[in-house]
Amino acid sequence: MVLHTLIDYDVLRVIWWALLGVLLIGFALTDGFDLGTAMMLPFIGKKDIERRIIINTVGPVWEGNQVWLILAGGAIFAAWPQLYAVSFSGFYLAMFAILFALILRPVGFKYRSKRDDPAWRRNWDIALFIGGLVPGLIFGVAIGNVLLGVPFRLDQDLRIFYEGTFFELLSPFAMLCGLVSVSMLVMHGASWLMIKTEDPIAGRARMTGIAASLLTLALFTLAGYVLWGFVDGYRITSAIDVTGPSNPLGKSVDLASGAWFDNYISHPWTIVAPALGLGASVLACFALVANRPALAFTASALSITGIISSVGASMFPIILPSSVNPEASLAVWDASSSHLTLFIMLVVTVIFIPIILAYTTWVYRVLWGKVTERDITNSHTHSY
């Protein structure tokens, strides 16, 4: 018996759809508080030493946190090649902006304190702020465009043609999704700073986190309302072979108002995802008000998990709809790699993901504890 036949093709496709979501959530939970912390840097750190403390809460861990982004990109490339081709070519300028902003972070961390010049350090603080805001915003904008539909089409040879422009990505609904992303990451970053710092930084982070949690609740609710009443969703209306070869052109797809909510009606248990996004943001707010940083951080992580999971729950089985030719929309059943490829990738994932999790846990355990002014002043050679 060939080993990869031990798991059915349709099951592997669903597994890799779920694993892609896990990797994206993993990136948002880990690198998300890095981005949120960077967004708050110029506002919460009133003095240079305070800003150095803030930077040193994330400086030792940000590189490891970005592993999840690399894994997600690799998973898209190997498991969903057509998704990779459309998104990384159609969103090329947006991806370039994200990469440019992310590059500012390591440069800012390394060079900010090399000169004892207020103007020099202030400029690098702005660069770090941009390095947090731009990725956080554009990732959310990208999700908004996925829900709206991406302007691509396929010819009969399955060649991909993208017909959109960069500025078309900045629609009102997409920007609303970008603001949801920014607010939830600031909430997460504020909870992290409460854990890792002392007053007055922790106190300012607490107030910022309260505002961000309430804003996340309001914006996520508004985005759901707009998605329900004003955005046409995509619905597969023809039979589809869940174990057949990957050919997105073999199905019929209709657009309909409220179609993105079909799964919540047919599978009521999926309502857990948006309920978690909303409920956990409320819990994070209460935890911040009660000055319970560990609970606030856990709640903000759950809220992010729920918000991102809501997108997957709403869209399944579609993973990338086409606004130009809905029949060309990519679905879980017709846009994946081969049966053998998905199986080999799953075996590798089962081996290496636990290793990554164990190493990450060990690193955070070693680096656990608050970053104080004494840590910075007594360790010039080992602090940022």
- Considering the domain boundaries, does residue 123 fall inside one? yes
- Considering the domain boundaries, does residue 16 fall inside one? yes
- Considering the domain boundaries, does residue 137 fall inside one? yes
pTM of the model as a whole:
0.93
pLDDT of residue 7: 87
Q: How far apart are CA 339 and CA 345, in angstroms?
A: 10
- Considering the domain boundaries, does residue 264 fall inside one? no
pLDDT of residue 91: 85
- CB atoms < 10 A from the CB of 42, how many? 15
- Considering the domain boundaries, does residue 36 fall inside one? yes
**Residue ranges, the chain, pLDDT below 70:** 1-4, 379-383
Q: How many domains does the chain have?
A: 1
Q: How far apart are CA 92 and CA 32, in angstroms?
A: 22
- Work out the burial of residue 36: count CB atoms within 10 Å of its CB; fewer than 13 is exposed, 13-18 middle, 19 or more buried: buried
- Work out the burial of residue 320: count CB atoms within 10 Å of its CB; fewer than 13 is exposed, 13-18 middle, 19 or more buried: buried
- Considering the domain boundaries, does residue 113 fall inside one? yes
- Considering the domain boundaries, does residue 295 fall inside one? no
pLDDT digits (tens, 9 = 90+) for 235-247: 999 988 898 888 9
Residue 107, token pair as written in the block: 């440069």
- Considering the domain boundaries, does residue 45 fall inside one? yes
pLDDT of residue 163: 87
Residue 236, token pair as written in the block: 């597969």
78: domain range? Answer: 3-234+244-259+317-367
Q: Following CA atoms 71, 73, 77, 81 in sequence, which dihedral angle do they give, to the nearest 10 degrees?
A: 130
